[in-house]
Copies of this chain bind each other. A is one copy, B any other.
Amino acid sequence: MEQRRDSLAAGVRKDDVYYFKHPAYILSYASCVGKKEGEGPLGHCFDVVGKDDHFGQETWEQAEKVMVQTSLQGAVQKVRLDPGEVGCVLGGDLLNQCVSTSFAVRDFHSRFFGLYGACSTMAESLILGSVLISSGLEGKVLCTASSHFCSAERQYRLPLQYGGQRTPTAQWTATASGSVLLTANGNGRVAVTRAMAGRIYDPGVTDAANMGAAMAQAAFETLRGYFATTQEDPGSYDLIVTGDLAAVGRDIVLELAKEEGIDFKGKYTDCGLLLFDREAQDVHAGASGCGCSAAVLCGYILPEMERGNLRRVLFCGTGALLSPLTTSQGESIPGICHLVCLEVM
């Protein structure tokens, strides 16, 4: 262990996969969600569930900022740390200029790396946070992502008051925030042992109400590349979960996998299908948003790993890298998928 195996010690990369020699351990995590998310199948899992989606604020954007603050502070307070003991925060959200995260971190006052990975942001922040930890440059890092249904609707689609109809492929942006506190030491804890940053794939989908389809190829390509490099298959994992492909995107991933001869053996699902009861909660294809995978990770997956019910998990954040403007200019929707391998050590 004392010996340097090569001149650069944080880890090695094979193809697109980072193997961390010094994994980043998950010391703590917290989630904060809205009322509808609290009424869903995972409602009992979250640390804070809002009575409404206002969180005591006058605007939806300020409400989202409060959710980010709540999950950041929650992760820190659970382990009785002072925010000053956190080296840096990495994260972002869906709002223009990622303002809910920036304004939340303003009050937190640690060093800050703003990220934009659309709904893949939670996985992106875990990768870069793990790199900072494994490199020895940081001792404690907070990774965060959030979204809010109401701030997203008026920014990406229409004001809520308009009452626009939703198509069957549409997804419901989660009102949710999740924050994960990474640290260098943590025997017995869950750790980020490997990661794979995604490449952008664009299958040519132009319907912004069908983002699951736009992101599905990126998710599949990341998973295919990961299994090829690691020479593992889905059977090596207890759970393989994408971020927010929901029903349409999930089905495309299953179809692509079948064509490729990859058998998920029932291990694969999507956070966008876990967060809501699709029938009872009228969310059409399922959930979406940066906060969807962030809150499902912090509310459900990590607790299940700590309870020993899951030991190896592939957490795959999926992002649709569009803006309303690019869609209105006729552009298709590029997708990306960042993968994080979580293991109980």
Contact = CB atoms under 8 A, between A and B. Distances in A.
Nearest to A326: B99
A202 B106 contact: yes
Nearest to A95: B323
Interface stretch (A112-120, A168-176, A277-285): A112-120
Interface string A89-118: 000101111110011011001111111111
Most-contacted residue by chain B among A98, A105, A113, A115 (CB, 10 A): A113
B135 A9 contact: yes
A181 interface: no
B116 A115 contact: yes
Interface residues of A, number: 70
12 contacts: A4-B8, A8-B136, A8-B184, A11-B136, A16-B111, A95-B323, A99-B322, A102-B321, A105-B200, A109-B199, A112-B198, A131-B132
Interface of A: 1-2, 4-13, 16, 18, 21-22, 59, 61-62, 87-88, 92, 94-99, 102-103, 105-106, 109-118, 124, 127-128, 131-132, 134-138, 184-185, 197-200, 202, 319, 321-326, 329, 331, 334, 336
